[in-house]
A and B are shown apart, each in its own frame.
Chain A
Amino acid sequence: MARLTLTWLVLLGPMAAPAQQDLQFKEAGVCARCHVISVVEWGMSRHRTANTDCIACHGASAGHVDDERNNIKPERMPQGEAIAALCAGCHTAGCPKTRQKAACQTCHHFHALVDPKAPPAVPDQSLARSRPAPATRSPKPPPRITVAGVTLVLIPGGEFDMGSERFPTSRPVHTVRVEPFYLAATEVTQAQWTAIMGSNPNAHKGDQFPVEKVSFEDAQAFLARLNSKVPGGGFRLPAEAEWEFAAADAQPVAGGTAPQPAGSGPPNKFGLHEMLGNVWEWCSGSYLPYPSQSGDSALGVLRGGGFVDPPDLLHAAFRHSERPTRRLRYNGLRLARSADPR
């Protein structure tokens, strides 16, 4: 269903687009009769706005569309390094992320210029010539408030597809509605923890580093003390769905032997730092299988991955669980607050 929706988006999306893109979509619509996924990939990538369409790579391929038995092949079917040569047409300096100039498909699929879940950190200047002019008005940053020294970002809420088919424990992908809420821009730091709890559990000390070695029960104790000190505080842990919704578009923080200072990584589209990597973040509620999440579990939920984990686990949909009493040196927390605390 999701694929179908995306196809319609690709096919119907350009109604208000410039004439050239309109033409591109018309041609792609013909290709999409058979090559649905390829066109969806293309439509979701920056190829769409970079004057690169099906014909640019595969040629006009006269007769290919009409031949139902597929006897007439496309004019060009670039393979291997021939694809890299096509990429180099725009990306003269190589991959914007890795500077790699060969074997582009090892990271990108054939028709996707950018992995939507891991966009390049550095904009590719060589693309400027073919890009449409940027919008004159930048999007309005999400509203922020500061309560008791904690910067909270208003996450607007909405419906999204929670989970991932990639991980057994994140299946099935299911649609969830999240109400607007506040989430801290960074993980709780050691300075914040010490100010409330009077002690620092970390082995790796540093005021601006995230607090680690925190069990779920420790986190609850911290929240209770914080809320007792801040009138109307309403601080809590984010629900799993809230956390995953807010982690959209986040870039992983590189791992290593210790975490990075809180807030040192690039923000995601909501302005949240280190959603993926650094330390695992406790969520409220119990760890229960998707989608109903009914039943009872003695385990708490952790999200976001830690500095000890391999990059493939630093994924917005990856779920981990732990006993509420266990303190591991890469488990921390991030504060949340309801938009309308009652």
Chain B
Amino acid sequence: MLHDALSRRSFLAAAGLWPGCVASPPPAFASVPEYRRGGMVYRRLGHTDLWVSLLSFGSHTDPADRVKVAPGKTALTPQGQTRRDRIITHAFDLGVNLLDVYETESQLEPAARLVQGRRDKVLISLAHDVTNQGIDRACRLFGHVDLYRFHTADIDGPALETWDRLRKAQQAGKIRAIGIATHIERTMSLALQELEGLDYLFFPYNFIHARADYSLFLPQALRQGVGLIAMKPLASGSIVKLDPRARSGAAPEREHLQLWQRRNRPILPAAVAELTKTLDRLPDETLCQAALRFVYSRPFLATAITGMFDDQWLEENHQALARYQQMRAEERAALDAASRLARRLGARWLPEHYRWLEEQWRA
């Protein structure tokens, strides 16, 4: 539980947001309850009775395997679906217990098939189709839904009605925890004030996009017992692009936009050299692992939810948990260097549809 008399300075230090302490070890008072089992850490989601694995499986499917099936709706090719199912099963075996599912990517039925026989061990998280029919359909497939949220940019009339619908479904026993996802800090604060029974909140959080003025929102969320779920812990997969050691083709969403290509290399020599030097001091760790360990080490977060398109990403993300409790000075130096490099690149290091994040969320 957060200390009542927490000052702005001490909170920022805890959150690692104070200038010059991007990844300082957080003090114990800002932590949510947790336990370790096997190679996985589980944290309590706010005031609910749900314990979620610190690494969660994200909803986005691999664009390389997607086909469009209707306006605004995609599905995976049979091969792509088989691959995704295999990776998710592997994640369950590693102790991941939260699976986020997008209806718009036709993943409801495949996920329902996948969790058969282990439904009591897996938490299902949904976001789309927050209609009565959508909720009932999900309940028919999964029995109940563990986490249901909706995306919103504002807490206005329609959002309040959607929220009311989710609350009723929760009161009827169809949903266990309800929340919202938003990228807008004002909406987060409004949600804490206006949404009765808010159980959790999805918000973008990584070592680059972690706003300093969270000092108001985060303590308030913790005081209210609202669970905090970090989305985009790897900046929509873009952090891998900053890593000069990343293998070719590992770029997210198959964009193959390696910043280390010849055309980028000459314009950022100093920043690249600095990052390369710091990463050389981390022979057993990738930049993505260090970035995830930054998120894992934030004690106020319940879980980090990230998309994983192949077994290696999953393994790396899981391995990053092994030393999650304390970050080393070398890791902090690498993240600082990567942050400076990203700053010099402007918004170009993000996929086009997420470039607005850069302005809104840079710390």
State the A residues within 8 Å of B (CB): 166-169, 299, 308-310, 312-313, 318-323, 326, 328-329
In the complex, B167 has a CB within 8 A of chain A = yes
In the complex, B164 has a CB within 8 A of chain A = yes
B119-156 CB contact bits vs A (8 Å, 1 = yes)?
Answer: 00000000000001100100000000000000000000
Q: Taking CB as reference atom, which chain A residue is nearest B135? A: A310
Q: Taking CB as reference atom, which chain B residue is nearest A321? A: B196
A320 with B167: CB separation less than 8 A: yes
In the complex, B186 has a CB within 8 A of chain A = no
In the complex, B168 has a CB within 8 A of chain A = yes
Query: Do most interface residues of chain B lie in helix, strand or loop, or is the interface mixed?
Result: helix
A318 with B171: CB separation less than 8 A: yes
Q: Which B159-194 residues sit within 8 Å CB-CB of chain A?
A: 160-161, 164-165, 167-168, 171-173
Q: Taking CB as reference atom, which chain A residue is nearest B176? A: A168
Complex interface: chain B residues within 8 A of A313 (CB):
168, 172
With A and B bound together, what is the CA distance between A308 and B160 in angstroms? 14
B160 with A169: CB separation less than 8 A: no
B171 with A169: CB separation less than 8 A: yes
Identify the interface centre among B136, B165, B168, B173: most chain A CB within 10 Å of its CB. B168
A-B interface pairs (CB < 8 A), number: 36
With A and B bound together, what is the CA distance between A168 and B170 in angstroms? 9
* 13 sampled A-B residue pairs with Cβ under 8 A: A167-B172, A168-B172, A168-B173, A308-B132, A309-B132, A310-B133, A310-B136, A313-B172, A321-B167, A322-B164, A328-B160, A328-B161, A328-B164
Complex interface: chain A residues within 8 A of B160 (CB):
326, 328
Sorted nearest first, the 6 A-B pairs with minimum C-beta distance are: A310-B132, A169-B171, A168-B173, A167-B172, A313-B172, A313-B168
How far is the CB of B322 from the nearest CB of chain A, in Å? 38
State the B residues within 8 Å of A (CB): 132-133, 136, 160-161, 164-165, 167-168, 171-173, 196
Complex interface: chain B residues within 8 A of A310 (CB):
132-133, 136
B171 with A319: CB separation less than 8 A: yes
Question: Beyond the given A167-B172, A310-B136, A329-B161, could you list 4 further A-B residue pairs with CB under 8 A, ordered by the A residue number?
Answer: A168-B171, A309-B132, A309-B168, A318-B172
How far is the CB of A192 from the nearest CB of chain B, in Å? 25
How far is the CB of A257 from the nearest CB of chain B, in Å? 13
With A and B bound together, what is the CA distance between A299 and B171 in angstroms? 14
How far is the CB of A203 from the nearest CB of chain B, in Å? 11
How far is the CB of B295 from the nearest CB of chain A, in Å? 33
Identify the interface centre among A168, A318, A323: most chain B CB within 10 Å of its CB. A168
How far is the CB of A213 from the nearest CB of chain B, in Å? 10
Complex interface: chain B residues within 8 A of A318 (CB):
171-172
B196 with A320: CB separation less than 8 A: no
B161 with A312: CB separation less than 8 A: no
Complex interface: chain A residues within 8 A of B165 (CB):
308
How far is the CB of B170 from the nearest CB of chain A, in Å? 8
A323 with B171: CB separation less than 8 A: no
Complex interface: chain A residues within 8 A of B132 (CB):
308-310
Q: Which of B133, B136, B161, B171 contacts A320 (CB 8 A)?
A: B171
Complex interface: chain B residues within 8 A of A322 (CB):
164, 196
Q: Taking CB as reference atom, which chain A residue is nearest B132? A: A310
Q: Which of A168, A309, A323, A329 contacts B196 (CB 8 A)?
A: A323
With A and B bound together, what is the CA distance between A166 and B165 in angstroms? 18
Complex interface: chain A residues within 8 A of B161 (CB):
308, 328-329
How far is the CB of B131 from the nearest CB of chain A, in Å? 10
Instruction: Check A320/B173 contact, CB under 8 A, given A299-B196, A310-B136.
Output: no
How far is the CB of B229 from the nearest CB of chain A, in Å? 23
